[in-house]
Chains A and B, each alone.
Chain A
C-alpha cells in the first residue's frame, strides 16, 4: 500500500503542501457521505484496520472508527488497559502479533513522542498517527485546516494558537500544516507553556492574549490540562482564565470577527468562555464533523485510492 502519501501518515512536518492539499481536496467529496441516510461506501471493503489506543481518547477514536466503517473496512479496537500491554508486552511485539493476523493498517495513539514512527519503521502495515506524545496529531491538524478553509482561504490568514503549546501535539501539527499552506502563524500563552525556540519554526509569539486577538483572524484554543497546574507550570486555573482565557469581552475589542477553533475536550471557563465556545463564530462542532471526512480521505489515500476517483468512489455506494 503506497500512494500519493507514502506508506504511513506520521505527521505534517514531512508532508509537502501539495500532499496536504490533496488530502483536503479528497476530504471534500467524503463530507457528503456522512450526510446520507446510508452512510457507507465500499472503497475499503476487505481491508482490516486496528485502532490501537494506548491513551484514553473518545473523539479521535470514534471519529476514526466512523471513518473506517463508512468506508466499509473491518475494524478492531484495542485499548491498552485491556490488552497484553499491561502484561509487559513491548509496543513492537504487540504490533507484530497484530500484523501476524494479516492486517492492513494500524491507527495508533500513544503517550510517547516518536512512537508512531517507531512502529512504522518496524511493521509492513500502514501506520496512521492518531497522536504521539507531544509530537504530532496529523489528522487533527488536517481537520483544523479543512475547517478554516471552509470559511476562508488559508494562505494569508493569521492564525494564533493559544494555550499550552509546550505539551501540545495539536499545536505542532497545526504549525506545520498552516505554514506550508501559507498562513501566518502565532502562538500565545504564558512562557512556561511555550517551547524553547518556537520562534525558529517561523511563528510569532504573543505574551498577552489581547495582542493575539488584535492580530489574528483565527484562534485555535488549546485545552489546558489540570496536571499543568499540579506540575507547577502555572499558578492556578483561575488566574490562567483571567489572563489568557478567550472571553467575549476580549473578543469584543478585536477589529474583526475571529473564527474560533478548539480541538477538544474543552475546559469551559478555563481556556475558553462558554459564550465564545457556543457563540456565532465558533466552528468547534464543524471541526468534529470535518474530522470524519479528513480521516476518510487519509484512509482512502493511504490504501492506494486514486485521488481523482474519490468522487466516483462515493457513487459506488449505489451498487
Chain B
C-alpha cells in the first residue's frame, strides 16, 4: 500500500484541537503524522489539497442498507459506495432488514459483505428484541461479540418500558448504547406527517410531537433508573431537545442525533403531497428546526446522522398515505450541513466535524473520528466553498428518494480515504457541469 500525503490542507481535527494548514501523512493504514512541511516518503502519492479541508472521515450512526431483503433498493456495497461519496468512512447499519440482524450470524454476514465491497466501513447494529418483535431480548452479548456496535429496534420504538429497562441494564455489560426510535405508536398510528396546520389543510392524519416526547421522557427515566446509555435516534421536536438538555445537565448517560432533513426542512415540504418529504419522525415546524439547531450548537445533540432510508421509485410514486416513510441522505448530508449550519453560523467548521466525525465515533466507541497518529487513516478532503446542485440521477445509492433534488448545497467531497486508500474521488461521478467550482 503506497503512502499518501495530503498536502497543504486546512486540517480540522477537533479531537486534537487542530485547525491549521498542514500536511497529513497516511501510511500502512494509519495516520502517521500531521504537521507542516512533512516530506514525501519514497513512492508516496501526493493529494494536492491546497484550499481544501482535511478532516477525520465522517461517521454516520444511522443508515438503512436494506441488505439482506431489499437488495433492489440498496445493498451493503452500494450503500457503502454512497457513503464514501458523501465523505463518510464509517456507517452503522440498522438491523431492520429481512431477516432482522438479531443474531451473531447476521452480524457476520454484514461485516463480510462490507469487507468484500470496500468503500466505507460498515458497523452492524443488532436488534434489541428477537425479530424486532418487542418481546424477547436478542442475544445482545453475542451480537456485541460478533461486532455489533449498538442495539436498536429502529423502524419502531423499543416496545415497552420493561423491555427498554432490561436492554439498558443488559447492554451495560457490553458497553454499547441502546438506540431508540422514540414514537408512541398509539398516538402516531395511521399518521402520515406532522400534526399541525399543514396536516389539517391537506387532510392527512397527523403525528403529534408528543408521540416522540413521551418515549423520550420514558427513556430518560429509564436511563436514570439503570445507568444505561440511551442514544436518541433522529430527534425531531423542540420538546425532546429540551428534555435531553435537562437530562444531560443532570449527568445522565443520554446522547442524541439529528438528521439533515430535520434541521433543514419543515412540514411545509409535504405541501402538494410530496412523498419524498414523508419520513418518520415527520418534518416538524420552524420552532422545532430552530430548537434542533440550538441543540446542535450547544452540544445537547451530539451528532448528525442521516437515517439514510432507500425506497423504490414505485413505492414513493403513490398516494401520500400509501407511500413509505424515509429519504436517502448519505450523499447530501455534508452539503446540507455546511449550507444550513456552517454558513449561517450555527456551527463552526470544527464543531461540524465534531458532530459528524469525532462525536459519533466516540459515543459508539468506533475507531476513527480523529487524525491522531496511529489511528485509522480514515480521512475526508472537501472543498467547503464549492456550491453544487443536487441531481439524484447521479447518486451512487440505488435509490433516489430525496426531497433535495435541485437544491443548491455547499461543500463538495474531493477525496474520501478509508484505511489510507482512496475510496472516492470527485471525478468518479459523471460530471454534469453543474458544479460552479469555488
Contact = CB atoms under 8 A, between A and B. Distances in A.
Contacts of A74: none
A133 B203 contact: yes
A196 B197 CA distance: 7
A113 B206 CA distance: 12
Interface in B354-386: none
A198 interface: yes
A267 interface: no
A195 B208 CA distance: 12
B272 A197 contact: no
A246 to B, nearest CB: 24
A110 B319 contact: yes
A112 B195 contact: no
B202 A195 contact: no
B202 A200 contact: no
A197 B201 CA distance: 10
B203 A136 contact: yes
A92 B323 CA distance: 14
Interface string B201-240: 1111110100000000000000000000000000000000
A18 to B, nearest CB: 22
A146 interface: no
A118 B273 contact: yes
Contacts of A169: 203
User: Interface size bucket, B side?
Assistant: 20 to 34
B202 A135 contact: yes
Contacts of A135: 202-204
A92 B317 contact: yes
Interface in B80-99: none
A134 B203 contact: yes
A115 B319 contact: yes
Interface in B170-210: 195-197, 199-206, 208
Contacts of A112: 319-322
Interface in B307-352: 314, 317-322
Contacts of B318: 90-91, 118
Contacts of A111: 321
Please indicate which of the listed interface residues B195, B197, B200 has the most CB atoms of chain A within 10 Å of its own CB: B200
A114 interface: yes
Contact of B196 (A117, A118, A197): A197
Interface string A231-260: 000000000000000000000000000000
A191 B201 CA distance: 17
Nearest to A117: B273
A47 to B, nearest CB: 27
Contacts of B201: 13, 172, 201
A132 interface: yes
Interface in A125-140: 132-136
Contacts of B322: 112
A115 B199 CA distance: 15
A181 B228 CA distance: 60
Given A132-B203, A134-B204, A136-B203, A91 B197 contact: no
Nearest to A114: B273
Contacts of B204: 113-114, 133-135
Interface string A178-204: 000000000000000001111011000
A233 to B, nearest CB: 12
Contact of A172 (B195, B203, B314): B203
8 contacts: A112-B322, A113-B202, A114-B203, A117-B273, A135-B202, A195-B200, A200-B197, A201-B197
Query: Which 9 A-B pairs give the minimum distances between C-beta atoms?
Result: A135-B203, A114-B273, A134-B203, A112-B319, A113-B203, A195-B200, A197-B197, A112-B321, A114-B320
